Amino acid sequence: MRDITLRDVAELAGVSPRTVSNVVNGYAQVAPATREKVERAIAELGYRPNVLARNLANGRSGQIAVVVPYLDTPYFAELLQAIIPAARKGGYNVLIDQTDGDRQHEGELIGRGSRGFLFDGMIISPLGLSQQDLTVRDLALPLVVLGERVSDGTFDHVGIDDIAASTDAVTHLISLGRRRIAAIGDQPYATGEAAQLRTRGFRAAHAAAGLPVDESLIISTARFNRIDGVTAMAALLDREDPPDAVFCYSDLVASGAIHTIVERGLRIPEDIAIIGYDDIEDGRYSHPTISTISPDKTAIAQLAVERLIMRIGSPGPVPGVELLAEHRLIPRQSTLGRAAP
Amino acid sequence: MRDITLRDVAELAGVSPRTVSNVVNGYAQVAPATREKVERAIAELGYRPNVLARNLANGRSGQIAVVVPYLDTPYFAELLQAIIPAARKGGYNVLIDQTDGDRQHEGELIGRGSRGFLFDGMIISPLGLSQQDLTVRDLALPLVVLGERVSDGTFDHVGIDDIAASTDAVTHLISLGRRRIAAIGDQPYATGEAAQLRTRGFRAAHAAAGLPVDESLIISTARFNRIDGVTAMAALLDREDPPDAVFCYSDLVASGAIHTIVERGLRIPEDIAIIGYDDIEDGRYSHPTISTISPDKTAIAQLAVERLIMRIGSPGPVPGVELLAEHRLIPRQSTLGRAAP
């Protein structure tokens, strides 16, 4: 199909190309009858105004990329649901990419990739990338990083205070009289920063209460999924001395752990109390409802988008900052029992 | 910041602009030493190859738009998770937009909108758009529609056979001896096609079994969310003659309905059996696990992407087709009881 041009529309409508351009760009100074003629011609020819050409002229695509490891993880889905309207309010469309946490894919996105730059800036929640990978990125790309990375001064980082939040979660279990507390979700390898911060909070809460940590109760998992919780909980219940409480590094892990506990005929929280992390909607409706740490997702989205737009519009380098959103402990049935919300 | 050009890179590297272009475009005929010089200059200057210009030349953006009503609805999140790799395999990036089911927003996306065409084609799951809206769309935009719309011959439609699937769900409840079966999720207004097909299946299953339909047991809801299930189920339980089974039009609705039933101290499925729709991961781990209709999401994604790419590449108009993916009934604990998977 030969591409329809502005000139074709002008010819069919019997007006000048300038007039067609005025209609396409929504300028007001076009007589209604003329506008209608042009619009009819546009419709008849199936003309598509050349946005790419327009972007080329001003050097902006009007798009920001938001890159998450998994779209079907409720935490990321809820975060995206908050980021999109914030970006739109700032005049940007959102191009979403998901990486499966693959280091190479993530690296291409923040590097001088063959994928090129169809976006003006990026918000990324990296899983595979190490801190080191982030420092060798393309510095020309305005970047805001979510999750548990530390800014090296060239990008902004938005998150919550993971250590404090994890300490709050475990302190809640201790305050309920639990003493054999397990942790599910540790990731002691290079890129497991999020998990490692949560493990530090786990230790900090024990230290603050003068309790020893049973190292064998800290269970590593590959990801933060339901299946990881199912498997890890089964291993904990197979022990001679199972825990009386578990701090799960995500609500999905908690959901999987609860699944295993209920299948074994044990009671929550009487036999084992469970607390998760993320405050996804699922945990508010499940049985039992899941006690959790609730990061302020709206604030995270807002901070990330505002900061990125500022960065895109800035004529010179902008120093990277750490931005912390609030978090709250939300106790529910999985620690407080049936009387709880 | 002045934009760095190809010429700047060439100057710094001491090569011709043509050579820089060859490196940027990944052409093979560049000597390794030269390539390295150019890449070093690119890194030093923070040069960004102008993808917009390249796209302008070939008239393609290499992006497809995928438009869903809500990103934080697990069904759409899982579908997107399947669409993105399929698109990537076909050489396309995915631009995701979410509309909150807003008719005007959806209409702009498929119309000759001021948003322009930064994408070569679109897969849309419309909520607000009526059948009529779809027929007045921009015919120049290659379009594949998901969900329960009927093609008017100008776009393709990919879905499952909703009436058959709903009939299967309700027939399952009837086969378990249930006779007072409610339905939660009807939407009798103009754009509620998905819901209306499920209600037709609900009726068809009753008719096939020679059972009358109690119209008062068909409950309308605004959306297919957990909170809709909570509210509708509460109303059903407040009746003097509550149902002994409920067909919920999504797993989220089922999750909400189960929440209400458990809070009231009733047993599932002994007092009330529940079946949902969508087979989201949540339902495989919840208590009870949720019996459901499982649409083949991978097949839906694959069919939609393949068809769209074919449409984008086609030189002339392509007749619209209906493509049906498979579905399966998956009985779980919410209808079969604890012994079930």
Helix-then-strand count for chain B, H and E: 14, 12
**Are residues B119 and B138 located together in one domain of the fold?**
yes
Secondary element (H or E) of residue B323: strand B322-325
Partners of B262 on chain A (C-beta within 8 Å) are: 287
Assigned domain for B174 exists:
yes
Q: Are B194 and B303 contained in the same domain?
A: no
- Are B175 and B282 within one domain? yes
Q: B32-64 pLDDT, tens per residue?
A: 888 888 888 877 777 766 555 555 556 667 888
Suggest the residue from A2, A22, A25, A51 to mutate for an interface test with chain B (most B CBs closer than 10 A): A51
Tell me the pairing of strands B327-330 and B292-295: antiparallel
A44 in the same domain as A97: no
A213: which DSSP letter? P
Is residue A266 domain-shared with residue A178, that is, in the same domain?
yes
Instruction: Give me the pLDDT at residue B104, please.
Output: 76
Do B151 and B260 fall into the same domain?
no
Query: Touching check for A115 and chain B: CB below 8 Å?
Result: yes
Hey, is the C-beta of B208 within 8 angstroms of any chain A C-beta?
no
- In chain B, residues with a C-beta closer than 8 Å to the C-beta of A96 are 80, 94-96
- Rounded Cα distance between A181 and A195, Å, is 17
- Give the domain CATH number at B220: 3.40.50.2300
Tokens of A142: 């305005």
Tokens of A259: 């699944």
The amino acid at A50: N
ipTM over 0.90: no
Query: How far is B214 from chain A, CA to nearest CA, in Å?
Result: 29
Q: Which domain holds residue A73?
A: 61-159+296-325
Examine the pLDDT at B117 and tell me if it is beyond 50: yes
Mean pLDDT of B72-95: 89
d(CA B47, nearest CA chain A) in Å: 8
Considering the domain architecture, whether residues B139 and B243 belong to the same structural domain is answered as no
Is residue B96 situated within a structural domain?
yes
- What is the per-residue pLDDT across A213-248, written as a single tens digit (0 to 9) for each? 999 999 999 999 999 999 999 999 999 999 999 999
pLDDT in tens, chain A (341 residues): 456 778 888 899 999 888 887 777 656 677 888 888 888 887 777 776 655 555 555 567 788 889 888 888 999 999 999 999 899 888 888 888 888 777 777 777 776 543 445 688 999 988 777 777 777 777 778 899 998 766 677 889 999 999 999 999 999 999 999 999 999 999 987 667 889 999 999 999 999 999 999 999 999 999 999 999 999 999 999 999 999 999 999 999 999 999 999 999 999 999 999 999 999 999 999 999 999 999 999 999 999 999 999 998 888 788 888 899 999 999 999 999 987 76
Domain count, chain B: 3
Please report the pLDDT score of residue A199 as a whole number.
96
Contact between chains at A95 and B71 (C-beta distance less than 8 A): no
Name every chain B residue with its beta carbon within 8 A of the beta carbon of A98. 80-81, 84
Does one domain contain both A167 and A291?
yes
Q: Are residues A148 and A107 in the same domain?
A: yes
The dihedral built from the CA positions of residue A184, A185, A186 and A187, taken in this order, carries a sign that is: positive
What is the C-alpha separation between B122 and B120, in angstroms, rounded? 7
- Please check whether residues B185 and B272 belong to one and the same domain: yes
CA distance A226 to chain B (A): 8
Domain identity same for A248 and A143? no
Q: State residue A51's pLDDT score.
A: 55
Where are the strands (E) in B9-149, listed by range?
Answer: 63-68, 93-98, 121-124, 143-146
The reported pLDDT for the residue numbered A306 is 94
- Looking at residue A150, its pLDDT comes to 67
CATH number of residue B22's parent domain: 1.10.260.40
